[in-house]
Structure 1
Amino acid sequence: MYGFIGTGEITAAIVTGLSAGTAPDVFLSPRGREVSRELGARFPNVHVCASNQEVLDNATSVVIAVRPPIGQAVLEELTFRPEHVVISALAGVRVDQLRAWTAPAGRVVRSIPLPSAARGQSLTAMFPDDPAARELYERVGGVVVPREEETLEAFSAATSTFAAHLDYLATIADWLAERGAGAEAASAYVTHVFGQLGILVSQQTDTLAALTGKHMTPGGINEQFLARLREAGVPDTVRSGLDGILSRLRS
């Protein structure tokens, strides 16, 4: 049985993934009531509780998915038990802080679940390794466990690039639309091209650097465009931006 404190997009994704096939009982907090009601109506294994404490009273593995600024206030008003496994999805909140806020819970794990959990395809980074957390996240995809907590924060920083990547695709679509393709056709084409590229990448065993080379021919247009971005300092800007995010997460 799993409990969820906080019912936003990530909770909805994990619960949707969990509820496929042989589904475990899931207990949701009333926070974000619209999401809770919708999940409860869709899945017979999902139970919406009257309070966050009721979630803890019914589940031993508890996912914390509230906004980080309110995490301490939410957790410190709850009564945890030694048998609780606390699985946090709070970005930037370290294990030692979580232990203090959830004492006397016996085990605390940090995790970075992804929206693709809804399709059973989230590769979830977590630290430290824990059998209960691993069982949860393997139900909705797979897991990767770095050796150190500091490295987990780098994984978290990497997820800050989602919006920038989508904006990059939107820029390509806008450029194409402005040159006669039309907005709908341009968006459909760019979505298809990069969606298929994502599938191809997920099925390859080559490194990303090797795949980059395979998608260029000497003197070709892919090589020309990549060279223009490198000349403009785009890779350095990406690295600098990620360094800034990582500093924020570690502060």
Structure 2
Amino acid sequence: MSGYGFVGTGEITAAIVTGLDGADPVYLSPRGREIGQALAERFPNVQVCGSNQEVLDRAETVVLAVRPQVVRAVLEELTFGPQHVVISAVAAVRLDRLREWAAPATRVVRSIPLPQAERRQSRTVAYPDDAAARRLFEPLGGLVVPDDEAGLEAFSAATATFAAHLDYLATIAGWMGEHGVDPDAASAYLTHVFGQLGQSLSAGSGALAELTARHTTPGGINEQLMTDLRRDGVPDTVRRALDAVLDRVRG
């Protein structure tokens, strides 16, 4: 047994497999066959199996990438061995449940891979620390291992902010349009500005509070907008929404 097996073949699986770029044998479940076939045609090391059990029979390290609503049913149909390492990319399913459903496998890891794995730029969060997870995720952009499962769940809740962040930018673009700016030009400008800001963040050039201070001139317009948003309770609204997501993530 060698390589990686994937139970569930959606966007996250496609991103990880693309990031691996032929480095190891990859066995895909028949679920999501269209995506699987496209990957198999693109990479000679990728094979679509006839069943989920065949994935387990061929690979020792198995990545779970199915919807939380079906993960128990999927796992309970499979026969795991003590040699298997199970890496779950399923949100809101705790380690104790995964270990129960994947027994007798005992090496079970929760992970939060991102679509940027496709470009080897996914800083993946995983818990507990495991050599197989490190071998998989470190080449795809690095690995973060929190101190405990509760920490991983906080990371997971934070990923719920992606759409809200983009909606914030869309709101700004819409406001610019209301003031006479061409919508395409507004979107292109904001994409550029915040894309460049994202590169600064990726460079790791200071804590977020320090970066905020660098972009805040006393008495300037950045300070004005930030002060108005804080006064109107935006940070508290974000915290309350994250608390609600965290409650859901923890089941």
TM-score, normalisation: structure 1: 0.97
Query: What aligned pairs does 1:50-61 form with structure 2 within 5 A after superposition?
Result: 50-61=50-61
How far apart are the structure 1 equivalents of 2:109 and 2:124?
A: 12
Which residue of structure 2 aligns with residue 222 of structure 1? Answer: 222
- 1:9 to 2:22 alignment: no
- 1:188 to 2:174 alignment: no
Which residue of structure 1 aligns with residue 147 of structure 2? Answer: 147
Query: What aligned pairs does 1:205-244 form with structure 2 within 5 A after superposition?
Result: 205-244=205-244
Secondary structure, in 3 states, of the residue corresponding to 1:4? Answer: strand
Opposite residue 103 of structure 2, the aligned amino acid is A
Deviation string, structure 1 residues 54-103 (Cα, Å, up to 9, x no partner): 11111000000000010000011011111000000111111111011111
Opposite residue 226 of structure 1, the aligned amino acid is M
How far apart are the structure 1 equivalents of 2:4 and 2:83?
A: 13
Which residue of structure 1 aligns with residue 174 of structure 2? Answer: 174
Which consecutive unaligned segments of at least 5 residues does structure 2 have? none
Percent identity between matched residues is 66
How far did residue 205 of structure 1 move? Answer: 3.1
Opposite residue 140 of structure 1, the aligned amino acid is L
Opposite residue 115 of structure 2, the aligned amino acid is P
How far apart are the structure 1 equivalents of 2:190 and 2:17?
A: 30
Which 10-residue stretch deviates more, 168-177 or 79-88? 168-177
TM-score, normalisation: structure 2: 0.97
Opposite residue 31 of structure 2, the aligned amino acid is R
Secondary structure, in 3 states, of the residue corresponding to 1:57? Answer: helix
How far did residue 138 of structure 1 move? Answer: 0.6
C-alpha RMSD over aligned residues: 0.9
Which consecutive unaligned segments of at least 5 residues does structure 1 have? none
How far apart are the structure 2 equivalents of 1:161 and 1:35?
A: 27
Runs of 4+ in 1 over 6 A off after TM superposition: none
How far apart are the structure 2 equivalents of 1:215 and 1:117?
A: 30
How far did residue 185 of structure 1 move? Answer: 1.0
**Aligned mate of 1:18, from 17, 20, 33:** 20
